[in-house]
């Protein structure tokens, strides 16, 4: 949901902007493995950027996932000259988002254009921060998608039917429902939801 600007002071880019459509996201996926910690999602040297400042919010997005080791991840999540990613869907293994409590992690992902992570499990602070900020949907699945999919594959993440479809092969994978977390992220975070 788009965030209304307060006076001229705050104009923040939309978080996950479904524009009123159902919670279905289509796009290329970026595959990561287990234990992607928040230092890999947004290295500590970029934490001087304050997420509540609009221009710094955008800059955080440009650094999303730049901490991933180059050998294992030859394709960058955000291209060198770009501020935004081509991969709205991130695939993860176990314990996605472990490590630091930095809210900059889900913020950087959301700011870069990520809309949903589909992983086997999450670290608690990261999961909580995704919901509170409304920056992206943290979807859980029992399927070991990080072994089945490759970066660049077109997928559809349907959070209404709770199914992920590999558009190349047509194969479908079951997702766990978001439950109460869904509407909070739809609204744009806990404050927006509370209103």
Partner 1 sequence: MQMQRQALRTPGGVAGRCPARVSCVAAPPTPSRTPASTGAVKRAMTMTEKILAKHSDKASVTPGDNVWTKVDKLMTHDVCGPGTFGIFQQEFGDAAEVWDPERVVIIPDHYIFTADPRANRNVDILRDVAQRYGIKYFYDIKDRGDFRANPDYKGVCHVALAQEGHCKPGEVLFGTDSHTCNAGAFGQFATGVGNTDAGFILGTGKLLIKVPPTMRFALDGQMPPWLLAKDLILHIIGEISVAGATYRSMEFVGDAVSQMNMEERMTVCNMVVEAGGKNGVCPADQTTFDYVESRTSEPYEAVYSDDTASYFADYRFDVSKLEPVVAAPHSPDNRKLARECRDVRVDRVYIGSCTGGKTEDFMAAAKLLHGAGGEVKVPTYLVPATQKVWGDVYTLPVPGCDGKTAAQIFEAAGCVTPAAPSCAACLGGPRDTFARMNEPEVCVSTTNRNFPGRMGHKEGQIYLASPYTAAASALAGHVADPRDFMA
CB of 194 to partner 1, least distance (A): 9
82-121 positions binding partner 1, by CB under 8 A: 94-95, 98-104, 106, 121
Q: Quote the CA–CA distance of 83 and 58 in Å, as a whole number.
A: 7
Binding span for partner 1 by CB under 8 A among 23-31, 64-72, 147-155, 166-174: 64-72
Binding span for partner 1 by CB under 8 A among 19-27, 37-45, 82-90, 158-166: 37-45
Residues 27 and 87 sit within 8 Å (Cβ to Cβ): yes
182 binding partner 1? (CB under 8 A): no
Task: Convert 81-104 to b/e letters by CB count within 10 Å (16 or more is b).
Answer: eebbbbbbbbbbbbbbbbbbebbb
Stated as kind and residue range, the H or E segment containing 104 is: helix 104-112
Binding span for partner 1 by CB under 8 A among 14-22, 49-57, 151-159, 169-177: 49-57
Q: What angle do CA 52, 6, 184 make, to 5 degrees?
A: 65
Nearer to partner 1, 23 or 104 (CB): 104
Binding span for partner 1 by CB under 8 A among 14-22, 41-49, 84-92, 163-171: 41-49
Q: Quote the CA–CA distance of 195 and 181 in Å, as a whole number.
A: 16
Binding-residue total with partner 1 (CB under 8 A)? 41
β-partners of residue 165 are 156, 172
Nearer to partner 1, 13 or 165 (CB): 13
15 binding partner 1? (CB under 8 A): no
β-partners of residue 29 are 89
13 DSSP 8-state letter = -
Residue ranges that bind partner 1, judged by CB under 8 A: 6, 10, 35, 37, 39-40, 43-45, 47-53, 67-70, 94-95, 98-104, 106, 121, 123-125, 128-129, 132-133, 189-191
């Amino acid at each position: 949901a788009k965030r209304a600007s307060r006076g001229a002071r705050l104009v923040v880019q939309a978080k996950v902007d479904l524009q009123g459509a159902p919670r279905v996201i289509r796009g290329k996926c970026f595959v990561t493995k287990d234990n992607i910690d928040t230092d890999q999602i947004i290295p500590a040297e970029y934490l001087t950027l304050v997420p509540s400042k609009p221009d710094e919010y955008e800059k955080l997005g440009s650094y999303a996932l730049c901490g991933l080791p180059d050998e294992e991840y030859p394709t960058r999540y955000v291209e060198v000259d770009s501020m935004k990613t081509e991969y709205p869907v991130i695939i993860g293994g176990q314990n996605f988002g472990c490590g630091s409590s930095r809210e900059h992690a889900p913020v950087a992902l959301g700011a870069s254009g990520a809309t949903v992570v589909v992983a086997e499990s999450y670290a608690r602070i990261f999961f909580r921060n995704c919901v509170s900020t409304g920056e992206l949907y943290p979807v859980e699945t029992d399927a070991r998608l990080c072994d089945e999919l490759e970066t660049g594959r077109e997928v559809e993440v349907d959070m209404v039917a709770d199914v992920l479809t590999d558009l190349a092969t047509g194969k479908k994978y079951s997702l766990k429902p978001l439950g109460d977390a869904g509407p909070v992220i739809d609204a744009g975070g806990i404050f927006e939801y509370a209103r």
